[in-house]
Amino acid sequence: MRRLFRTYHRQFNFEIKQPKRLILEYISHQKNRQKSFLDMLTAFPLDFSQVSIKGDYLIEITIPTTGRIVISLNNNQDRLSTRIDAEIIPYYKGNICGLYFLTFFLSLLSTIGLILHTNWLTVAAILCSWAVFMIIFHLRIVWNRDQLREKLEAFVRDIRLQTGKTKSSYKSS
C-alpha cells in the first residue's frame, strides 16, 4: 500500500542566494512573531505555525487536511547559496485510515449485495460504485498535491524576498 501512495509524492528543487543560517533565522523569526488581525487577512497562503524545524536542516510543513511538505536545506559549493530539496506528500494518516475503512465498507456492501441479488444490474452497480470511489480518491490526492505545490512555491518565494533584505529588516528589537 505504501508503494501505491509513493506514486503521488513529488520532488522539487529550488536555489536561494542566501546561506542556510539566514533562512532558518527568518523561519524561526516568523514562527515567533506575534500575529496581528491584519496578518490573518493577508493573502499569504502559509501560516508559519504549521512550519516546524526538525534536526539541523530539515523543515516540515504540515497542513492538517491536505498533507505535508518535507524540505531539506543543503549548502552549495560556494556556501553562500542554498539548495532546497522538497518532497510533497499529498496525504496524511487520516487518508490511509479512511481508505482502509471505505474499502472494507464497500467490500461488505458488495458482498451483501451479491448475496441478496445476483444479477447483472447488481454487478454493474457494484462495479460503478468501486469505480466512482477510486476516481474520487485519486482526484482528491491530486488536488491535495496541487495545493501543497502552491504552498511550497509561495513559501520559497517568501523566503527569497525576505532573506534578500538585510537582517535588521525582519528582526524585531
In this structure, are residues 164 and 18 in contact, taking their beta carbons and an 8 Å threshold? yes
Structure pTM? Answer: 0.78
Predicted confidence (pLDDT) at residue 172 exceeds the cutoff of 70: no
The Cα 32–Cα 106 span in angstroms is: 46
Predicted confidence (pLDDT) at residue 70 exceeds the cutoff of 90: yes
Strands (E), 22-139: 51-54, 58-63, 67-75, 82-89
Mean pLDDT of 34-54: 70
The Cα 53–Cα 71 span in angstroms is: 9
**What is the number of alpha carbons within 13 Å of residue 142 lying toward its C-beta?**
6
61's grid cell? 510543513
82 or 162, higher pLDDT: 82
The Cα 68–Cα 70 span in angstroms is: 7
User: How much is the CA Rg of the chain, to the nearest whole Å?
Assistant: 22
pLDDT in tens, 76-116: 777 788 888 999 998 877 777 878 888 898 899 889 988 88
Mean pLDDT of 146-162: 87
The Cα 163–Cα 86 span in angstroms is: 19
Mean pLDDT of 31-55: 71
Burial class for 86, CB neighbours closer than 10 Å (0-12, 13-18, 19+): buried
